[in-house]
Chains A and B, each alone.
Chain A
């Protein structure tokens, strides 16, 4: 028997996972859609600014999907009642972790992309509003250009969820909540620096074509440019996006691998 890696076992893990977790996924989809519907309703009624729909849809998807998928992925390994069964299932820990990682990344990236495309189509299908800003929202390619960032965000929250699941162990989930809040603060801290510069960045002369919460690529009459949203005193720029998730994935892996069932 192959003790290192087997695609067949990876496939069996996937089949088992989706077969046994249909309900949590369906509940997750229902919650996700309900919040999006409320957001769309508010936007349609003119109670929020024009760009709120797009921003909220992205933020909500970027946080909700990876966290929920990661939580579903790792709940069996973290709950007292099922962890013994999970850890003695004949597959390597690498296969179990890899499946959870791939599942979170793929579902998150696809989920975020679908949500963004739908939101952009909805946005453009509705009559123009006086506060509508410039930008090619309906260009599907625009959202797929952000796939890298979606993966980074999914990876960040997925790895954070692993650490959080480990922190919560058999308790009521407060550890999970605390770690996730800390992670959200850590990731969205740079957002605090965006607001003062927002008018400059999102102007009628140009629009964002890429980037994330830390920096954005945007076009102006002069061509493509990059604007870092964080002030220069902070010692991180684009590499922050790669290092933090990678670090969390490594921590998550060790937490997962070394976990003991006490």
Chain B
């Protein structure tokens, strides 16, 4: 669905964010795009949907150059930026005028999502709080039923109930034909949704693995000692650790621990998750 090949990119007057960066996103599933601040997660989303041009390399979306931003491409993707402004109209009016651009727009899904988010269709955007606006726009984005949904920090500004609603709506939205890429720092809130984790750092790609691969190659557990662990955090019961899974026993990946390990033991994590690189 998305192929990033040998991407090099930098903003004018700034250092390179990406050098010879490659990534492939398959159709279907929910991808978590993680990385520390300023590493280029939002930039990568913009490159994917053609809002930025790479210095060199290619970014292909549905087999075509993403920068072409053809109508058929745009009609099949939806971007929810971290911060955005919406026109000073009611949500209903916005939907009436914008939905016809999206051929697969599902009005009943939209109405249901709004009901569950407790957002009124006759409310005006400018009278909504940031969280309300975000919920309204996320509901619209999901109702567009595009093949690719790009969400940049979608849970920022949402209250606890709304975060749960977001997760359940995303689960209903997801099909084998649809892909969502979620860039977030708040991993605990959406970690259970991810089928696939991508972690990037200033040097490039660190993790590009399915949750299944993570659980089979890494072991996440709470132990009394953190000795020899790739990464650990002290908890009430001892140490939450992440180690190479040598005994074959699967465990639920803890994304925060994984992120810590990717930061402190970068090379080890790459070696464990990409055995072919050792050849």
Contacts and interface: CB of A to CB of B under 8 A. Distances in A.
A88 interface: yes
A20 B46 contact: no
Contacts of B98: 16, 89
Interface stretch (B20-28, B73-81, B113-121): B73-81
Contacts of B53: 260
Contacts of A71: none
Q: Which 10 A-B pairs have the closest CB atoms?
A: A81-B85, A20-B87, A90-B75, A90-B74, A16-B97, A261-B51, A1-B72, A82-B85, A3-B70, A90-B101
B100 interface: yes
Interface in A61-99: 76, 79-82, 84-85, 87-93
B35 to A, nearest CB: 18
A19 B92 CA distance: 11
14 contacts: A1-B72, A9-B71, A20-B88, A76-B87, A85-B86, A88-B49, A88-B69, A88-B78, A88-B79, A89-B98, A91-B74, A93-B69, A260-B51, A260-B52
A23 interface: yes
B260 to A, nearest CB: 30
Nearest to B53: A260
B93 interface: yes
B71 A1 contact: yes
Nearest to A15: B97
B86 A90 contact: no
Given A12-B100, A89-B98, A90-B102, A82 B84 contact: yes
A126 interface: no
Contacts of B74: 88-91
Most B C-beta atoms less than 10 A away, residue of A16, A23, A79, A88: A88
Contact of A85 (B70, B81, B89): B81
Counting contact residues on chain B (CB < 8 A from A), the size range is 20 to 34
Contacts of B83: 80-81
A172 interface: no
A7 B276 CA distance: 52
Contacts of A85: 79, 81, 84, 86
Contacts of A6: 71
Given A1-B72, A20-B94, A79-B85, A84 B100 contact: no
Contacts of B51: 84, 87-88, 260-261
A87 B72 contact: no
A197 interface: no
A156 to B, nearest CB: 28
Query: How many residues of A sit at the interface, in one of the four size bands?
Result: 20 to 34
Nearest to A258: B53
Contact of B46 (A21, A81, A89, A261): A261
B70 A12 contact: no
Nearest to B103: A1
Contact of A3 (B71, B78, B96): B71
Contact of B52 (A79, A80, A261): A261
B11 interface: yes
A42 B228 CA distance: 87
Contacts of A92: 70-71
Contact of A262 (B52, B70, B85): B52
A84 B71 contact: no
B77 A88 contact: yes
Nearest to A4: B71
Interface in A164-182: none
Contacts of A91: 71, 74, 101
Given A12-B100, A19-B93, A262 B11 contact: yes
Contact of A84 (B72, B84, B93, B102): B84
Interface string A17-40: 001111100000000000000000
B8 to A, nearest CB: 15
A261 B84 CA distance: 12
Contacts of A261: 46, 51-52
Contacts of A16: 97-98
A28 to B, nearest CB: 14
A252 B72 CA distance: 25
Contacts of A2: 71
Query: Which of A3, A6, A9, A21 lies at the interface centre, i.e. has the most chain B CB atoms within 10 A of its CB?
Result: A3
A3 B52 contact: no
B89 A81 contact: no
B164 to A, nearest CB: 26
A25 B147 CA distance: 36
A144 to B, nearest CB: 33
